[in-house]
Structure 1
Amino acid sequence: MDLTPYVDNLRQELAIAADAGGDDARALAERLTAPLESAARLTLLNALSAAMGEVTRELAPGSVDVRLRGLDPEFVVTPPPVPEPLREAREPGAASAPPPPADADDGAMARINFRLPAHLKARAEDAAAAEGLSVNAWLVRAVSTALDGGARTSPQGRGKDSGSRGFTGWVR
C-alpha cells in the first residue's frame, strides 16, 4: 500500500492552512513539511496496525499482519485453518446410542447467525430447491450429516414400513 498520496494530501492541507496565516506561516509550514512526513507515515502505520488488529480479532484464528517493505506497508492475510471432521473416540466394542434424526423435533431450537460467501449461499439455495427443502432445512440436514458421519435415519422410524419386523442397517 502506497502511503505517498495520503502524506501528500496532508502536506497540501497544511499549505492551505498556512496560506491563511500569511507569509510567516507559509514559510514555517514549508520548513515543517519535511520532518512531518516521517511522523505522518508513522502515524498512518500505527492506525493501519490497529485496524488490522481489529480485523484479526474478527478473523480469529486467522490473522492479518502489516509488514513494512521500504516505506510502504504490505498486508499479509493468513486464513483460518480448515477444520478437520469431528471424530469421536470410542473404545472398541463399546455401543453408542444412535444420534437423533436430523429432522426430529424435540422442541429445543437454537438460533445462530451464519455468514458464508455469496457463491456458497447460491449453491446451498440451488441444492435445497433441487430437493424441495427450505435452505434452513437443507442446512440442518447438512450439519447433522456432517456431524453424524453421513449416517441418516428415516424420520418415520426403521425404513419404509415402520411396522414391519425386518431390520435395516449393516453389521460388522
Structure 2
Amino acid sequence: MNLTQYVDQLRQELAVAAEAGGEEARALAERLTAPLESAARLTLLNALSAAADEITVDLAPGSVDVRLRGVDPEFVVTPPPATEAFDARAEYAALMSAQPTPPPPPAAPDTADDGGTARINLRLPAHVKARVEEAASRDGLSVNAWLVRAASAALEQPDARTVMTSSHREARGSGNGFTGWVR
C-alpha cells in the first residue's frame, strides 16, 4: 500500500491552511512539511495496525498482519483453516504416548468482549520456539497466528489433568492413585 498519496494530500492541506495565515505562515508550513512527513507516515502505520488488529479479532483463528517493506506497508492475510484445525489435545497425547479421541476443532473466540487485542511477551525455550516455527510454517501461518490458534484450541479442550487422571485410573483399575502431569 503506497502511503505517499496520503502524505502528499496532508502536505497540500497544510499549505492551503498556511495560505490563510499570510506569507510568514506559508514559509513556516514549508519548513515543517519535511519533518512532518515521517510523523504522518508513522501515524498512518499505527492506524493501519489498529485496523488489522480489529479485523483479526473477527477473523480468529485467522489473522491480518501489517508488514513494512521499505517505506510502504503490506497486508498479509491468513484465513482461518477450512479443513483441519490445530489439535492441541492430539499434540499433548503424542507427547504423552496416550491415544485419546481427537476433539472437535476449536470454536471461534467469544466476541462478546471489547474486541481489542492484547500484546504479551512469551518466553520459550529455543527448542520449543523452533518447533513452533516449524509447525506454523507447515500450516502456512505466521507464528503469531499459529500461537493464537493453539491457545484458542487449548482453551476449548477439557482440562488436560482430568484427561490424564481418568485414563491412568482406568488403566490401573483403582481410583486411589493419580499419575500424570501436574501444572
TM-score w.r.t. the length of structure 1 is 0.49
Higher relative contact order (CA 8 A, sep 6+): 2
More helix by share: 2
Q: Which has the larger radius of gyration?
A: 1
TM-score w.r.t. the length of structure 2 is 0.46
